[in-house]
Structures are given as structure tokens and as C-alpha cells.
A and B are shown apart, each in its own frame.
Chain A
Amino acid sequence: MEKSLNWREFFITRLINLSGYSAMLFVALIFFFLLKEGLPALQEVKLSMLFSTRWYPIEDYYGILPLITGSIIITIGATLISVPFGLATAIYIAEIAPRWMREILKPVVELLGGIPSVVLGFLGILLLANFLRTSMNLPTGLTALGGSLLLAAVALPTVVSVSEDALDTVPRSYREGAWALGATPWQTIWRVTLPAAKSGVLTAIMLGVGRTIGETMVVLMVTGNAPVMALTPAALFHPARTMTATIAAEMGEVANGSTHYHVLFFIGMVLFLISLAVNIAASSVVFRTKKRAERILS
């Protein structure tokens, strides 16, 4: 009896270990594959060409700068919308809303997360693009701004539900302590609850940014895909082309092993490195705050 229990214990531990390691293995394999397919681009295309401003792959112009700036400006726009809005929603759900409201709001937000992005893109083409063009008097509504707005909608459920969970795990005694000191509800939220949930909230923002920069279908449909350099905030009101949309639009037709194919993988590599950088930056902030909290406690 005991022996079989031990054996089972051993087996289950190994299984859990294995799943943990497999995640690392998969990331390593994916990165290795990206390197293998993407690095030849550096040999086939001159660096000065790769970091130039014209993207026209059918005539061997492989400047990826417009695609990088396009991705970045759309991501910044979406983050500026989704983070304040998402945090406010999370605070309302976790701290302010009465119980019955909370029980309606939470599933509704999660339902928003279940809407396929291609459906959002469709709404974007048919309604949002037209609305943006007429209301802001733009030449066309297929702009980076339209992409940002829809991507904010894509990232919002992630930001709300992860940061709401983080706020929820802050012990009730923290809030009671603040109230006992005479803090108003807003002071409690801003000075006590939110800082206590900081690492969870940062994770929420990071996941939101990750969703935004990696999202493909929406941007392919609504941003117009014109490979222009996006250097100023005014570029939000012009069409833009993102890295993800480029890969999605062109990978299907490209000849396996050609220069164009390698450059598309190189773009995938750049995308991977950007999200890696976002992750490292966010986790280093989380790490630092933990250390400080420990210092205070000790």
C-alpha cells in the first residue's frame, strides 16, 4: 500500500516537473526555429537595407523600420487606452461595486474577451472606420487609431480580470487598517490597495501589452497596412502597417527558403525580442518592489 503510494507520488511529481520543463523547452525550440529561419536574412540583405524605410518585398525592398514603428505606435495607443480604462474598471469591480453588480460585471468583461478578434475587425471596417473618418474629418478611417481602439478592446478583458484578481487578493486587514486611520475610500484604494497589488497589476498591464503587440487579425483588417514611417503622435491618424499584419499577409504566398521568407522570420524574431524586453522590464520592476516590501517588513 505504502509502496504504491510512494510510486504514485514519484510519478506525479515527475509529470508536473515535466510539464514545467516542457514550457521552457517549447520556448527554446521556438526561439531556435526563429533564429534558424530568420538569421539568414542578415546575410542575404544588407543591414542598411534592412533598416531602411521602404518595405516593398516583391521588388527586394526589405526596410522593416516602417513595420516596427507601426507596431509600436499602435501598441502605445492601445495601451494608453486600455490600461487606465481597464484599471478603473478593475478597481470599480473589486473595491466599489456592490456584490450583485460585481456578479454581473465580471462575467460580462470576460465575455468581451471571448469575442473573436476577427469579429472586432469586421465591426472596425464597417462601423468604426466610417465613424472615425466622418467625425474627425480624416481622409480615411483605416488608421492606426482605429487599430489602437480595437486592440484596446482586445486587451481590456485581460487587464481587467488579471488586475481585479490581484486587487481581490489584498487582505481585508490592509483596508481596515487604512479606514481605522481615517483614510477616505479613494485614499485607501490609491495609497494602500493598489500598491499592495502592484505586482499583479503590472502583470496585468504586461499581459495586455503582450496581447496588443501580438494581435494580428484586427490590425490586418483596420489599419490600412500602408508601410509608412510612424514617428510622431500624428501618425496615429494615418494608416500604418504592423509586423504581425505583414507576416500574416505575406507568409502564405512566399516561396519557402527565399530572401523574403527569411526576412519575414527575421521580423518574427524582432517581435519576439520586443515582447521579451517588455517581459524583462516588467518583471524587474516587480522584483524590485518585492525587495523593498521585504525590507520594510524586516
Chain B
Amino acid sequence: MNRRILLIVLSFFLLTACFSNKAETDSKNSIYYIDNKGSDTIVNLALAWAEKYQSEHTDVSVAVTGGGSGTGIAALINKTTNIANASRQIKQEEIAEAKKNGVDPVEHTIARDAIAVIVNPNNPVSRLTMQQISDIYSGKIDNWSEVGGEDRPIVRLSREVNSGTHVYFLETVVRLGNSDNKTFFSTDTLLLPSSEGIVSEVRQNPNAIGYDGLGYVPQDLKTIAIAPEEGQPYILPSIATVNDKTYPIARDLYMYTNGESTGVLKEYLDWILSPEAQQIVADQGFVPVK
């Protein structure tokens, strides 16, 4: 019994020791280690990729950790990770800092994240402009009749404040991408702790409006077509409209490497853009880039 515990502890130490190494070749077992760190939005996707890839390539070991986009990029600059995951583009200051450290960040777009605005199927409203959605969520529009619907109060649903989706929606939709804009979510916006909470309330309640990652929206709810500005065409979110950038609430997800990658690292990044890996993107609720 004791010996077994000792064995587990030892193997744990061994494992952590392995993960702390960077992409180096272990001469005895010839295993390649890839460190992959950053955005919490991407962490589940990156884990799914790593698992799949490792099951097919037993000589490669991919270690995925979260911590946020900033953490990942900082680790890349400090040369403590091979790949930095980021749900935003690298900033100019970060590039300058990287150059100073002899690191040359190279960007790879690996997936896209689109947010669908959803309403109850019995709601006659099927299209809105970005401005209208912003006004709805900030509390300026309080009744569906103001946007061409029935005379019903609007019940606004949002994810909790700690969700990355909440912050993205606030910046891109409520504040219309304008960083000087200090509009808030209306205080009576319902903050639900899960995607499932939003979906079930929208399904039951004809007054409700909610938002969620495109991949998580069930078929029986109505997705709103969105126009970036009044007078422009209303676009429904789909893989095609997200990829040609006509759907306005979508962002790219990135991986950054130091210089053009070579060897095992390059093979891994190429595999990520393969149809097989991009299918995992769709399974995880994101939009494939190809």
C-alpha cells in the first residue's frame, strides 16, 4: 500500500519535471515536449487538440495551461512556453518587449469565436442592428415593439461577469467596440451562471433575449440576423459569414510562436489547421477557420 503511494508520488514528480522542460528531445525516449499556455477561452479547445494529437503521436507530449491571453504572451516573451494562446491580437507594446528579449512573435489564426444573439422562436423579431442590440442591453430600449416586435417587455439575459464572453459582448456590442464608451449593461440584466441557464430561459420566455457562443445554440431557438449599421445587410451567423467577416460579433483566436516554427512544433501547428483538428474546433463550439 505504502509502496503504491510512493510510486504515485514519484510518478507525479516525474511528470511535473517533464512538463517543466521545453520542446527538447529526451534522448532516451525521444519524446518531444510542447508547452502551450494562455487564453482561458481557448484552453478547452487546446486540451482537446493536445489529447487527440498525443493519442496519434505517442512521441509528442503537449502540456496545456490557461491563465489568460496576457499570461500566455508574457510566457512567450520570457521564453517559458513554445506556443502562446490568445483570444486577442498581440499588442504593439508586447511586440516591442518581445523584440527586446530576442523573441519574434509569429501569429497563427487557429479558430474563430462567434457570438449568436438568440430569442424565443415565438418572437416575431428576426433582425436587429448592432446599435439596437446595444440599446436593448444598456436599457434604452425596453419593449419589443420599439424594434418591430410585439408589445412585450424585454428581458435581457447575460452570462456572469467573470465570463470572457460577457466582457467580449460588453466591449464589442454594448459599447460598439468603442473603448471610450462607458455604457453599462442595464442593472436589471439577468446574469446567469451558465450557457444552459440562458438557453432554457430563452426557450421558455417569449420576452427574453440572450447571447451565447455560436456552437452552443440549439436548433429550436431563433438566431437574430445582425447588421453592423442601419442600412447594411442583416447577416445570420454561420461558418461562412464568420469566415468572410461579414458577421459583426466574431473574433479570431490565435496561437503565437517564437519565429517561424520548425520540426515537431510546425507539424503540430499544421495539424491544427487540418480538417481533423478543425472538426474538433466545431465540436468545442467555435468556428473552424477552414
Contact = CB atoms under 8 A, between A and B. Distances in A.
Interface of A: 54, 56-59, 66, 125-126, 129-130, 133, 139-142, 220-221, 224-228, 238-239, 241, 249-250, 252-254
Interface string B197-210: 10011001101100
Nearest to B191: A225
Contacts of B166: 58
A143 B191 CA distance: 12
B192 A225 contact: yes
A239 B191 CA distance: 10
Nearest to B196: A125
Contact of B189 (A221, A226, A250, A254): A226
B221 to A, nearest CB: 16
A70 to B, nearest CB: 12
Given A125-B197, A126-B200, A139-B153, A228 B162 contact: no
Interface string B79-115: 0000000000000000000000000000000000000
A227 B190 contact: no
B155 A249 contact: no
A253 B162 contact: yes
Interface of B: 152-155, 160-162, 166-167, 184-185, 187-193, 197, 200-201, 204-205, 207-208
B162 A139 contact: no
A225 B155 contact: no
A239 B204 contact: no
Nearest to A220: B193
Contacts of A56: 161, 184-185
B147 to A, nearest CB: 16
Contacts of A227: 187, 191
A281 B167 CA distance: 43
A66 B152 CA distance: 26
B200 A140 contact: no
Contacts of A250: 160-162
25 contacts: A56-B184, A56-B185, A57-B161, A58-B167, A129-B201, A139-B152, A139-B207, A140-B190, A141-B204, A142-B190, A142-B192, A142-B201, A221-B193, A224-B190, A224-B191, A224-B192, A225-B190, A225-B191, A225-B192, A226-B188, A226-B191, A227-B187, A241-B191, A249-B193, A252-B162
Given A58-B161, A58-B166, 9 more contacts: A54-B187, A139-B152, A140-B208, A141-B204, A142-B192, A225-B191, A225-B192, A225-B193, A254-B162
B187 A228 contact: yes
Contacts of B208: 140
A67 to B, nearest CB: 12
B191 A249 contact: yes
A54 B162 CA distance: 16
A253 B166 CA distance: 13
A57 B166 CA distance: 13
Most buried by A among B161, B162, B167, B185: B161
Contacts of A239: 188, 190
B191 A130 contact: no
A226 B153 contact: no
A142 B158 CA distance: 13
Nearest to B163: A253
A141 B160 contact: no
A140 B155 contact: yes
Contacts of A241: 191
A129 B184 contact: no
B122 to A, nearest CB: 13
Ranked nearest first, the 9 interchain pairs of A and B with the lowest CB-CB distance are A253-B162, A224-B190, A139-B153, A225-B191, A140-B155, A130-B204, A226-B188, A249-B160, A139-B155
A228 B191 CA distance: 11
B100 to A, nearest CB: 27
A13 B192 CA distance: 51
A228 B188 contact: yes
Contacts of B205: 130, 133, 140-141
Nearest to B185: A56
Given A57-B161, A221-B197, A250-B161, A129 B191 contact: no
A252 B207 CA distance: 31
Given A221-B197, A225-B193, A249-B193, A133 B204 contact: yes
B183 to A, nearest CB: 11
A66 B191 CA distance: 14
Nearest to B194: A221
B201 A225 contact: no
A58 B165 CA distance: 13
A55 to B, nearest CB: 8
